Amino acid sequence: MRKIDQALDGQRKVMPLQHLAEEFFRLINPKTKKGKFKKKESVIGRLKGRIKGHSKLPARFYEGLLDEGNNFEMLRQIVTSSPFEMEQRVMPEIEQLQHSSGFSWTKAFRKEIITTLGYPLIRKNYTNWLVDRLGIKACPYCGTQYILGFSSQKEKKVLCELDHFFPKEEYPYLCISFYNLVPSCSACNRLKSSGGTSLASYPHPYIDDLNMMFTFKTNPAGVIRSIIAQRKNIPITLEPMGTNTRKIDNHLKRFRLAEVYPNHSDVAEEIYWKKYVYNKSRKRELTKLFNGKLGLTQKEVDRFIIGNYTADEDLLKRPLAKLTKDIAREIKLIP
């Protein structure tokens, strides 16, 4: 659980997330060899087709979305805008467009927009790509589940879900917006459902750092050895940090994290065992062995000891990484 503000380029080098958003726009708008947008496979091609075959009112709306005369600027904004820009600029502009086009948002029309923009196809073809290029393997909402997929020449299997931070039922035109697509586990996607959301009330995994917004505590009292010997459940609590506690409270409640995490009391127990085993001299020994013979960094030695990633930037590479890191820090197993 950390802010996802970077991505990996084709060579697995780190690049700004915005570059991936722009790459996404190009990918979902493939061209023919002659340089024209493909009719069915590209969003632009599909929108053009819809404008041709539509009656007057929605055609005007689709023309506004496409913004062909302005080098597709509106569509580009819809796909690549940051979450703030979506709230502050894209949403009011689309509302205005809808108003001036003179029709109302019916349920059927919302559905039609989602199909025309090609969300089902994009979900199938780009979810694995997105997860891979974000370089994450754990659900950014809860941090307890793997989000993985695989693709071979024969089949593409998507094993995680795509959550729309701004629900697609309410904002159908944001159904293919890069920053609105959050790979998540099915439990979180279900818990979130289409409930109302805004950046002021809920953290967004691409712009808010959950790692800095709350911390896991076990509040150890007494000597580690005697706590281990008592064989009691180690209680796990979540403490909000910083000033915007309402926002983090909303997140914890929505995904039921205060109820979910105490189930991992056994993981906390193992960190306590490790604290007992890895005293200062044993840790020094390990560091010498790993640094000298294998060239591992201190962070990697810590990862070996904890059995999970410990660096803040790696907290979405494996489930429960924030839990194990926070507890290991709390009981001073790692600095």
List interacting residues with Zn ion (CB under 5 A).
139, 141-142, 145, 185, 188
Please report how close the Cβ of residue 12 comes to Zn ion at its closest, in angstroms. Answer: 25
HSE of 80, CA atoms in CB hemisphere, 13 A: 20
Nearer to Zn ion (CB atom), residue 258 or residue 296:
258
CB-wise, 139 or 162, nearer to Zn ion? 139
Min dist. Cβ of residue 96 to Zn ion (A)? 35
Listing DSSP states for 256-314 in one string gives: THHHHGGGGHHHHHHHHHHHHH--HHHHHHHHHHIIIII---HHHHHHHHHTS--SGGG
Work out how close the CB of 260 gets to Zn ion at its nearest, in angstroms, rounded to a whole number. Answer: 9
| CA–centroid distance for 217 within its chain | 24
Report residue 63: phi and psi, to 5°: -60, -40
Nearer to Zn ion, 44 or 136 (CB): 136
Give dist(CA 25, CA 122) in Å, integer.
11
Min CB(240)–Zn ion separation in Å: 19
Q: How far is C-alpha 186 from the geometric centre of its chain's CA atoms?
A: 13
**Residue number, 121 or 148, with CB nearest to Zn ion:** 148
Least Å from the CB of residue 101 to Zn ion: 38
Q: How far, in Å, CA of 184 to CA of 180, rounded?
A: 12
Residue number with CB closer to Zn ion (4 or 305): 4
Residues 113/176, Cβ–Cβ less than 8 Å = no
Smallest gap from Cβ 145 to Zn ion, in A, equals: 5
Q: Which is nearer to Zn ion, 188 or 320 (CB)?
A: 188
For 156-187, letters b (16+ CB in 10 Å) and e give eebebbbbbbbbbeebbbbbbbbbbbbbbbeb
